[in-house]
Chain A
Amino acid sequence: MKTQIWAVANQKGGVGKTTSVVTLAGLLAQQGHQVLVVDLDPHGSLTSYFGLDPDTINDSVYDLFVNSQQTVANLLVPTNLLNLTLLPSSSRMAALERQSSQMGGMGLVIQQALVQVESMFDYVLIDSPPILGVAMINALAACELLLMPVQTEFLAIKGLMRMSKSLDLVLKTRHQQLQALILPTMYDRRTKSSIQSLRIIRAEFGEHVSHALIPIDTQFRNASSAGKVPSQYNHLARGVQAYDLLLTQLQRRRQKIPQWTGVAHGQ
């Protein structure tokens, strides 16, 4: 099986990127797949999730950007879930922009690094920071499938429009094609705001919107506090079930997810 590389990105923060990575990775690992999660966010939420401190960590994904001799295998950390491995982040990732001003090709570091570990993993999931910079460009360049979580509320839609426009620009300079799927998150069917926002997202982005809707679910927070991936904490939680549905779409109907060719979004 060829390694599948998925990135989770959105220029807006707090939309459920890390939750999406952790939950999907947990489900995949529990299916028996070898899974690597890559944290590119200087905040290191994913790294913290697995009990490491991004402020004090010595070996992290940052090393790949500053030391061309560094091998990925030396940076990998096993997690408490079988089959799930972490490439942790460091707060030092915040300094990447300064370095990249001197070096062309800095956006391809992760793509090239992942080639080293292709034979070890069935899936690689990349958690991108909510900033359109070196780290996010690395995530976009390395992946073949992009998931864009978007909170079902009006301000988040504005952020999605911005992300969509940025993606158009990135793909103008990228030579490969990219499948992209928008994932509505924190959906609350009791609120008018959620329902209307979902309607707008579907009207604007059509086939790019996931069939699965991720509901608000306190079980995600509880799982995080317990230091477990959500499916490990409570497999029957409705949030986990929604991600399971998403995974079915990604695994069984993957070819039906459209390539991103630029969406006629309202600008």
Chain B
Amino acid sequence: MVNDNDTDAVLLDYFSELLRSDESEHKSASTAGVDSLLTLKPQACLQVKVGEQGLLFQLLIYQVCRLYVGL
């Protein structure tokens, strides 16, 4: 059985996600990932600090794509 507190918690979670300001520079669903990948420059690799796993991963994919399509 669902009670009021459960409903409130679900709604609060939903609102928090929608109002998250750190991601407020929204992207369209179809281009969000592609945009960030294409705007990366190869030399940015040199500036990446150890620990920024997400960015490193994107750069790795970018480099692989670059080699594959001969950019």
Contact = CB atoms under 8 A, between A and B. Distances in A.
Interface size class of A (residues with CB under 8 A): 20 to 34
A134 to B, nearest CB: 6
A173 B15 contact: yes
A105 B19 contact: yes
Interface size class of B (residues with CB under 8 A): 20 to 34
A90 B25 CA distance: 22
A267 to B, nearest CB: 8
Given A103-B23, A105-B23, A108-B21, A137 B28 contact: no
Contacts of B28: 66-68
A169 B26 CA distance: 23
A68 B26 CA distance: 6
B12 A105 contact: no
Given A66-B28, A68-B27, A104 B11 contact: no
Q: Which 7 A-B pairs have the closest CB atoms?
A: A107-B18, A105-B24, A105-B23, A104-B20, A104-B23, A108-B24, A173-B15
Interface of A: 65-68, 99-100, 102-109, 112, 132, 134, 137, 141, 166, 169-170, 172-175, 267
